[in-house]
Amino acid sequence: MKEKSPDYYKELYNTAWDSALKLSQEDYGDTLQSLEFLEKINLLHTDDKILEIGCGIGKLCNSLHNKGFVNLIGTDISLNSINYGKTKYPQLELRVMNADKLEFQDKSFDVCLSFDLIEHLPDITEHFNEVNRILKPNGYYLFQTPNIVFNSILETWKARGFKWKAYHPSLQFPWTLRRALKKSGFMKVKFIRIPPLSDYKLIQLPGFLRLVFKAIPWSSLPVSLQIGFWCIVTKENNNSI
């Protein structure tokens, strides 16, 4: 498969956000579920320097800001989403930036966040290298990404084909995700089980699947059978990258 240029992805997500915002859709992810994850793991401190990568219009950043986290920055590849966010949330620091070229100094952040980002990246190793570089020792990368098993089926059903491969080129199994993180120097990776049954996600499913999903004991299933992977990744002190 021919490698696509960075401009291809900029245009892809600029167009996607332009279409979404015209329909008053301000969130491609699930902000409430992301906040639930952050509250459950309870690792953030209000004095932490935090970066959200793939922030969209800054909806999650704004929620954190309202909770007292003021030392934070949001980045996204889409100029359209960032410009919209700057207008809606003028108190936030939002920047246009590629996820595999983070324009920050080494060891700049206590915590990096991303939700529904990794699956969109053509090169996750380069991204993980950059996150490792800008995190302080003992810093955290806290993120979520869909399970390739379920997401590929769902997206194929929704698109009636394989168009989703253009915007989800990096769907993962738990073991491929762990391997990629270790390749970039992250040796401490923990998967957290978060129930996938938020209203945002359920509404995307046909009625019969909603009933099936509600009946599944998600908290008892192994990580490989979760709808998405919620991860705590730690940059350890002895990391040389």
Per-residue pLDDT of the chain (241 residues; tens, 9 = 90+): 456 777 888 999 999 999 999 999 888 778 989 999 999 999 999 999 999 999 999 999 999 999 999 999 999 999 999 999 999 999 999 999 999 999 999 999 999 999 999 999 999 999 999 999 999 999 999 999 999 988 887 777 776 777 778 888 899 999 999 999 999 999 999 999 987 766 666 666 667 777 777 778 877 889 998 989 999 999 987 644 3
pTM score above 0.75 = yes
Work out the burial of residue 220: count CB atoms within 10 Å of its CB; fewer than 13 is exposed, 13-18 middle, 19 or more buried: exposed
Does residue 142 fall inside a structural domain? yes
Domain membership of residue 183 as a residue range: 6-234
> Which residues have CB under 8 Å from 212's CB, separation 6+?
none
Whole-angstrom Cα distance, residue 17 to residue 59?
Answer: 14
Q: What is the domain count for the chain?
A: 1
CATH code of the domain covering residue 180: 3.40.50.150
Is residue 137 one of the residues assigned to a domain?
yes
Among residues 52, 41, 116, the alpha carbon closest in space to that of 89 is found at: 52
Asked if residue 240 is part of any domain, the answer here is no
